[in-house]
Amino acid sequence: MKKCLLLLIVLSQIISCSPDSLENNYSSYDRGTELSEDDPTPEDGYLLKKVSHRKYGETDILDDTEFEYDNQERLIKSTSHGYSNGESEILSESNYEYNDQGRLSKITRHSNRASKLEGLSETEKLNMSGGITEFIYEQDLTIKNSYNLNNELRRITHTFNASDNEFHQNEYLPDGTLEITRIEYQGDGDCSLKRIEFHQDGEMIRHTEYEYLDANCSFRATAINHQYSQFSFEDTVTMDSKNSVIEQVSRDLAGIISKDYSYKNEITYNAQDYPLHEIRTTQEGVKSETLYEYY
């Protein structure tokens, strides 16, 4: 539970660790105790408070994200900051709401990133300035409606279990036209994800196969793009016993390594096996550093 919560907040800010969300573990490879009113602070090492990131180069890039929770340990706010010439500015802010059953019901996000880009149309600025996502739960079906900040519907997503080991996600345009279907196949055990497929207009346009290499769920992911073969690739990802990535080697299907996407991580953990400090070095020699703080 603890590791699932940590990984999903850091990587994708997804709230639930249950399989009814297809935006769950490994999605990036597609290129506790309740608190009482008298004790509002979780035990040390349980909830993520802040992630600070620095990418080293001719000009260092610095940013961080801070997380806030309610007294039931539910994420209610995340705020991302950027730093320039020693000055901090808010890049984006997301607020999370829950229904009477405690399930995520709404995310409202505001972003300042569009203000830093030139030549954007008014529509592009609006779409980059944030949005509202509402979640509706109907038995095994989860409906996600995505709006821009003018409350104009942009996308509809339906997620459901086709069987115990097969999960579907259908994405629709505002007029109800099916745009793309994502199918995830799961197996049994800890290393469960087997295959992801994307279908459009009745044809499979790309898929990823997962082969597990050890008891830590290290894996080889082979992604085939059936429309644009130049975007096919193979990633070999080495995990440690604490469910963290310690190395990734990315190749095209001819075996040529992509040095930008291949890296090693050096990770320091606390007593609860949460990461405290991570140094990532790509095969190009680019170094970045991430610090984690907890409540």
169-198 confidence digits (pLDDT tens): 999 999 999 999 999 999 998 899 999 999
What are the boundaries of each domain within the chain? Answer: 187-258
Q: What is the band of 122 on the pLDDT scale with cuts at 50, 70, 90?
A: confident
Give pLDDT tens digits for 82-92: 997 778 899 99
Higher pLDDT, 272 or 259: 259
pLDDT of residue 86: 77
Q: What is the band of 153 on the pLDDT scale with cuts at 50, 70, 90?
A: very high
Per-position DSSP letters for 156-198, written without gaps between them: EEEEEEEETTEEEEEEE-TTS-EEEEEEEEE-SSSS-EEEEEE
